[in-house]
Structure 1
Amino acid sequence: MRIGVVSDTHMPSRANGIPKELAEGLKGVDLIVHAGDWVAPDVADLLEEIAPVEGVSGNNDGEEIRARFGRKKILQLAGFKIGVVHGDGSKWTTEKRAREAFRNETVDIIIFGHSHAPYREEVEGALLFNPGSPTDKRRQPLFSYGILELGQTLEARHFFYPDKSWN
């Protein structure tokens, strides 16, 4: 199973459409997981033109997105348990908040966002994965997203691009 991972699209304030590089990179995925801060509800519709969409809401999302996706969830896909949370809050680092959200649950991977910074590290038996942002790189040199490959093992990779232009 191949899963596209995005977060912090902040649309339309950061982009008026799905960046070309992202749309190309997500072609052929079985599912797209969004880790929050969609901002506009129609971002889900745009992504669903590529593949089915799952996700959670972030601190910049309104009631419509919160009602549709919730703030935290565990997906069971291809034999793996995948925790998804945005990671916002006031205590600790974003990574620590993401870990704490699943402290009492066993997951193979925790997907989170909020910091706009790509992150990949195994901690206490779970892979922590932040795809960064495909539209708002902040202090990062490039825009980014992730791809998970779920098979006999779990693989997670970041993909980077310099230009967020869209069709």
Structure 2
Amino acid sequence: MKIVVIADTHLKEGKLPSRLTDELQAADLVVHAGDWKTESVYKDLGQYGKVAGVYGNIDGEEIRKLLPAKEVLNVQGFTIGVVHGHGDKKSTEKRAIEAFSDDQPDVIIFGHSHIPMIQYFKKQLLINPGSPTDKRTLPYYSFAILEIGEEIHAELIFFSDKN
């Protein structure tokens, strides 16, 4: 199963980058870790298939009515926790881990910092896909691909052209 993982699109208007939409063509699932900005991003992603996700700190009522603050997905025998990661004190990563202290998912997907990373914390795979549309001071836009079969494989995709 191929999952395209994104966060922090922050799109009021405009389109998703072609590098991302190319990968979405072959996705079985799209997971968005919050800060959509508008419901139109949800609808755009829905054209490619099933979409799951959570709302972030900048999302308004339309997104908050549509999506939860935290979600646990069951995919081919693995559990995936999704949360935006915003809050007070501690790092975004620590807040994401704490959000699932009772659930202990195999994978935790989060956003908020716009800093892409894939690493293990104990036995949990942590994924922050960065942002495909708002790289801030980073040199590249990014998203992640999570492939789930008998094992889990995750990779970050970096690109420089937002068109």
Q: Say whether residues 1:117 and 2:96 are aligned partners.
A: no
Match of 1:48 in 2: 46
Q: Gaps (5+ residues) in structure 2?
A: none
Equivalent pairs, count: 163
Q: TM-score, normalised by structure 1?
A: 0.95
Q: Report runs of 4+ in structure 1 exceeding 6 Å deviation.
A: none
Q: Distance in 2 between matches of 1:152 and 1:139?
A: 37
Match of 1:85 in 2: 83
The one-letter code sitting in structure 2 at the alignment partner of 1:154 is I
Displacement of 1:25 in angstroms is: 1.9
SS class of match (2:102): coil
The one-letter code sitting in structure 1 at the alignment partner of 2:25 is K
Displacement of 1:104 in angstroms is: 1.6
Match of 1:96 in 2: 94
18, 23, 34: which one pairs with 2:21?
Answer: 23
Displacement of 1:103 in angstroms is: 1.1
Match of 1:146 in 2: 144
Superposition RMSD on alpha carbons, in Å?
Answer: 0.9
Q: Distance in 1 between matches of 2:23 and 2:71?
A: 25
Match of 2:5 in 1: 5
1:58-112 Cα distance to aligned partner (Å, 9 max, x none):
0000111111111001000111100000000111001001001001212100000
Q: Distance in 1 between matches of 2:137 and 2:121?
A: 25
Q: Distance in 1 between matches of 2:131 and 2:23?
A: 14
The one-letter code sitting in structure 2 at the alignment partner of 1:74 is V
The one-letter code sitting in structure 1 at the alignment partner of 2:78 is F
The one-letter code sitting in structure 2 at the alignment partner of 1:10 is H
Q: Gaps (5+ residues) in structure 1?
A: none
